C-alpha cells in the first residue's frame, strides 16, 4: 500500500477491473447416493479412494455404492459427494464408562461416529482400552481398536486425557476433534479431579454395543434420500448405483429438474436391448438424465485372487468419472464419449449388433451404448439424453446450459441492491462479455467471432423506467451452443484426374 504523507490527489492503476469470469460454484462435482453399512448420513466430500475406505469402510454384503466410487476414481474422477441412506431405527453403537470414585457413576460415554452394526465390538467393530497414562499422574490413555482386538487393529490412540473440563487435555474436546471412529460425551459425574476419569478397562471388555442398521432401504428409499444434497450448492453429476426402476429414477430426475443444475447418470438393467429401451421410455422424458447400456464386467476389487471378475456390474461410477475427467481436460461442451473415453477397470462387455445400436440410439428415449472397439477398448459410444428430438437432446448441450446458467447467476449476484442505472448495465455487460468470450475461445460456443457466438443485452432498451421502478434488471443472453459430431459421413466417388489407366 502506498504511503500518503502530503495532501494531494493520488492515482493508482488497476489493469484488471473486470470481476472474475466464473463463479466458484459453477463447475460440476460428482455425487453418489446409496445404502452402505457404515458412513455419515449427510453428504460428505471424498477426494480419494483411501478416504472413502476410511470414512465408509471396506467391502460389505452390498457393494454397489463402493464399486461405483471405486470406478469413479479409477476413471479420472477427483472428488465426489457421497450420501449414505438408511431406513428405520438405525442406531449408533455406544458404551458408557464409570468414574474412579468410591461410589462410581457414569462419567464418559463413547459412541460410534455414525449408525450401524459396524460399530459393535463383539462382531469386529469398535473396542476401546482405558489405562493410566505412564508418567502423567491423574491422566488416562484411550486406545481405539477396529476390526478386532489386536495390535494390528489399533487405529487411534489418545494419550494423557482428563475428564476435567478446564484441562487442555479434556477428553471430550480431544476425542471429538480428532477421532474418525467415536464421539465422546461427558456424563457429568459428581466426582472431582482424577476421580472423574473412567476406571481402567481392557480392550477385550471395552466393546461398544447396541448398534443397529435399521431395515434395508428399498430403491425408492434410496432415491428419496437425494434431498440430502440440498446443502451442496455446486452443480451435480448424480448417480444412484443400481437404481433402475422407473419410480425411483423419476424421483432422481424430478430432483434434477427442480434444482436445474443436476444431471443424472442412470445405470442399465441386466436384460435384453428391447427391455432396456422399454424401461428408458418409462422414465420422464427430460434432458437432465441419460441412460447407459449394457452392464460391464470388471476386475473384482473385493477379491485379491488375480483374474477374479464381477459380471453385470453397474458402469455408472466409471461413466461419472469420465464426465469429470472430460470436464477438466476439455470442458462441459465436449461429449463424454468417443474412442478416447475408455472405461478403466472394464474387462468385457456384451456385444451389440448394428441393429441393437440403431435401436438404442434412435429410440424415443435414447440409450447410450457401451462397446468394445478394437484398438480402443471398452468405450462410451453415445451422448444422448432421455429427451430425444429436441435442441437439448445431446448431453453436452444440456450440461453446457447447466454450466452457463449457474455461472451467469454467480457472476451477476453483485448487482443485487446496486443503483439501477447505466453504470450498472455497463458493468454487467463487461463481466458477462468477458466470461462468454473466454468460454467461446475454449471451444464452448460455435462461431468464428464472439459476435457470432453470443450476445449480451443489458441497457435502457430492455430496462425502461417501468422496470427500474419495479426494482428489476433485465439481462438477455443468447449463445450458439456446440453440438457433437455424432455422424461422420464421407462421400466418395470416382476421380479420373486425367490419368491414363491400363489394364493388363
Kindly state whether residue 15 falls inside one of the protein's structural domains: no
Whole-number average pLDDT of the chain: 92
Judge whether residue 127 has pLDDT over 60. Answer: yes
At a CB cut-off of 8 Å and minimum separation 6, what does 498 contact? none
pLDDT score recorded for residue 18: 47
If you average pLDDT over residues 286-311, what whole number do you get?
92
Does the pLDDT value for residue 61 go beyond 80? no
Instruction: Based on the fold, state whether residues 309 and 279 are members of the same structural domain.
Output: yes
Provide mean pLDDT across the span 93-101: 96
- Percent of the chain beyond pLDDT 70? 94
Domain harbouring 340, CATH code: 3.40.50.11780
Set of cell numbers at residue 182: 467415536
For residue range 426-480, list pLDDT tens digits in order.
Answer: 999 999 999 999 999 999 999 999 999 999 999 999 999 999 999 999 999 999 9
Residue 301 inside a domain? The answer is yes
Same domain, 70 and 110: no
Q: Are residues 366 and 489 in the same domain?
A: no
Helix axes 64-74, 316-329, angle to 10 degrees: 30
Beta-bridged to residue 46, according to DSSP, are 80
Same domain, 75 and 188: no
Range of the domain at 498: 419-504
Helix%, strand%, coil% for the chain, nearest 5: 30, 25, 45
Q: Are 302 and 59 in contact (CB under 8 A)?
A: yes
Assess whether 291 and 387 both reside in one domain: yes
Strands 106-112 and 44-46: unpaired
Nearest-angstrom CA–CA distance, 349 and 369: 10
168-175: average pLDDT: 97
Query: Is residue 109 situated within a structural domain?
Result: yes
Q: What is the pLDDT of residue 333?
A: 95
Residue 67, pLDDT > 70, answer yes
Residue 6 pLDDT class (50, 70, 90 cuts): confident
pTM of the predicted model, to two decimals? 0.90
Q: Residue holding cell 456390474?
A: 313
Domain termination residue (choose one: 343, 361, 395): 395
- Both 220 and 120 in one domain: the answer is no
Report the pLDDT value the prediction gives residue 7, as an integer from 0 to 100. Answer: 80
Range with lowest mean pLDDT among 8-22, 79-93, 440-454, 487-501: 8-22
Q: What is the pLDDT of residue 13?
A: 60
Q: Is 362 exposed, middle or buried (CB count within 10 Å of its CB: 0-12, 13-18, 19+)?
A: exposed
Q: Please report the sign of the dihedral spanned by the C-alpha atoms of residue 31, residue 35, residue 37, residue 42.
A: positive
Query: How many angstroms separate the Cα of 377 from the Cα of each of 135, 295, 445?
Result: 62, 15, 30
Q: What is the mean pLDDT of residues 363-386?
A: 96
Q: Are residues 276 and 253 in the same domain?
A: yes
**pLDDT above 90: residue 143:** yes
Summarize pLDDT for 184-208 with one digit per residue, the tens.
999 999 999 999 999 999 999 999 9
Q: How far is CA 263 from CA 184, 257, 286, 289, 400, in A?
A: 39, 9, 10, 5, 11
Sign of CA dihedral 280, 285, 397, 46: negative
**Beta-bridge mates of residue 264:** 238, 289
| Cell 488375480 sits on residue | 306
Q: Cα–Cα distances in Å, from 355 out to 152, 296, 352? A: 56, 20, 8
Instruction: Identify whether 401 is part of a domain.
Output: no
3-state class of 257 per DSSP?
helix
pLDDT tens-place string over residues 320-351: 999 999 999 999 999 999 999 999 999 999 99
| 140 beta partners | 132, 161
Residue 100 has pLDDT above 90, yes or no: yes
Nearest to 411 by CA among 444, 378, 436, 393: 436
382 and 454 inside one domain: no
346 lies in the same domain as 302: yes
Residue 168 lies in a domain: yes
Structure confidence at residue 71 (pLDDT): 96
Residue 14 lies in a domain: no
pLDDT of residue 24: 46
Q: Could you give the number of structural domains in the chain? A: 3
Contact 98, 107 (CB under 8 A): yes
Query: Taking a C-beta distance cutoff of 8 angstroms, is the pair 273, 359 a contact?
Result: yes
Question: Both 153 and 181 in a single domain?
Answer: yes
Grid coordinates representing 308 are 477374479
Shared-domain flag, residues 352 and 264: yes
Q: Which helix (H) or strand (E) holds 132?
A: strand 126-132
Using the structure block, give the residue that is written with the C-alpha cell 492515482: 11
Higher pLDDT, 114 or 487: 114
Mean pLDDT of 496-501: 63
Residue 218, pLDDT score? 96
405 located within any domain:
no
Q: What is the pLDDT of residues 208-223, one digit of tens each?
A: 999 999 999 999 999 9
* pLDDT average, residue stretch 285-292: 98
Three-state DSSP state, 404: helix
* Residue that terminates a domain, selected from 196, 230, 256: 196
14 pLDDT exceeds 90? no
What is the mean pLDDT of the segment spanning 349-359? 96
Q: What is the DSSP letter of 213?
A: -
- Looking at the fold, whether 112 and 74 belong to one and the same domain comes out as no
Percent of the residues in the chain that have a pLDDT greater than 90, as a whole number: 85
Q: Which of 353, 380, 395 is the last residue of a domain?
A: 395
Q: Is 27 exposed, middle or buried (0-12, 13-18, 19+ CB in 10 A)?
A: middle
Label residue 23 by pLDDT band (50, 70, 90): very low
Residue 21 lies in a domain: no
Amino acid at each position: 500500500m502506498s504511503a500518503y504523507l502530503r495532501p494531494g490527489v493520488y492515482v493508482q492503476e488497476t489493469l484488471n477491473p473486470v470481476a472474475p469470469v466464473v463463479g466458484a460454484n459453477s463447475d460440476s462435482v460428482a455425487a453418489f447416493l446409496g445404502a452402505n453399512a457404515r458412513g455419515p448420513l449427510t453428504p460428505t466430500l471424498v477426494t480419494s479412494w483411501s478416504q472413502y475406505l476410511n470414512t465408509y469402510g471396506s467391502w460389505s454384503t452390498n457393494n454397489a455404492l463402493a464399486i461405483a466410487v471405486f470406478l469413479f476414481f479409477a476413471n479420472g474422477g477427483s472428488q465426489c459427494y457421497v450420501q449414505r441412506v438408511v431406513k428405520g431405527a438405525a442406531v449408533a453403537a455406544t458404551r458408557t464408562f464409570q468414574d474412579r470414585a468410591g461410589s462410581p457413576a457414569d462419567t464418559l460415554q463413547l459412541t460410534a461416529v455414525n449408525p450401524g452394526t459396524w460399530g459393535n465390538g463383539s462382531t469386529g467393530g469398535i473396542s476401546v482400552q482405558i489405562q493410566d497414562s505412564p508418567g502423567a499422574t491423574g491422566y488416562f490413555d484411550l486406545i481405539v481398536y477396529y476390526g478386532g482386538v489386536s495390535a494390528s487393529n489399533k487405529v487411534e490412540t489418545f494419550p494423557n486425557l482428563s475428564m476435567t473440563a478446564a484441562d487442555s487435555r479434556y477428553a471430550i474436546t480431544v476425542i471429538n476433534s480428532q477421532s474418525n471412529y467415536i464421539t465422546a460425551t461427558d456424563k457429568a459425574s459428581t466426582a472431582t479431579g482424577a476421580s472423574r476419569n473412567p476406571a481402567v478397562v481392557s480392550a477385550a471388555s471395552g466393546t461398544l454395543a447396541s448398534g443397529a442398521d435399521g431395515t434395508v432401504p428399498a430403491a425408492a428409499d434410496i432415491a428419496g434420500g437425494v434431498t440430502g444434497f440440498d446443502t451442496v450448492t455446486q452443480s451435480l453429476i448424480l448417480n444412484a448405483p443400481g437404481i433402475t426402476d422407473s419410480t425411483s429414477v423419476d424421483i432422481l430426475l424430478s430432483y434434477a429438474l427442480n434444482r436445474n443444475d443436476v444431471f443424472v447418470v442412470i445405470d442399465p438393467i441386466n436384460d435384453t436391448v428391447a427391455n432396456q429401451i422399454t424401461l428408458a421410455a418409462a422414465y420422464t422424458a427430460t434432458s437432465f438424465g441419460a441412460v447407459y447400456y449394457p452392464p460391464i464386467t470388471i476386475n473384482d476389487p473385493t477379491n485379491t485372487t488375480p483374474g477374479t471378475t464381477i459380471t453385470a456390474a453397474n458402469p455408472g461410477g466409471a461413466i461419472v468419472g469420465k464426465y469429470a475427467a472430460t470436464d477438466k481436460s476439455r470442458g462441459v461442451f465436449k461429449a463424454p464419449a468417443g474412442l478416447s473415453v475408455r472405461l478403466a477397470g472394464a474387462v468385457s462387455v456384451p456385444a451389440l449388433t448394428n441393429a441393437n445400436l440403431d435401436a438404442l440410439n434412435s429410440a424415443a428415449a435414447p440409450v447410450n451404448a457401451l462397446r468394445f472397439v478394437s484398438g480402443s477398448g471398452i468405450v462410451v459410444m453415445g451422448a444422448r439424453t432421455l429427451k430425444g428430438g429436441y435442441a437439448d437432446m445431446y448431453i453436452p448441450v444440456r450440461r453446457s446450459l447447466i454450466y452457463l446458467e449457474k455461472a451467469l447467476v454467480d457472476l451477476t449476484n453483485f448487482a443485487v441492491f446496486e443503483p439501477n442505472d447505466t453504470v450498472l448495465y455497463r458493468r454487467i455487460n463487461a463481466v458477462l462479455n468477458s466470461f462468454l468470450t473466454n468460454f467461446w475461445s475454449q471451444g464452448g460456443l460455435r462461431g468464428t467471432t464472439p459476435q457470432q457466438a453470443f450476445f449480451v443485452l443489458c441497457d435502457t432498451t430492455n430496462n425502461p423506467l417501468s422496470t427500474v421502478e419495479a426494482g428489476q434488471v433485465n439481462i438477455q443472453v443468447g449463445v450458439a451452443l456446440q453440438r457433437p459430431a455424432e455422424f461422420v459421413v464421407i462421400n466418395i466417388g470416382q476421380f479420373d484426374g486425367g490419368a491414363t489407366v491400363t489394364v493388363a
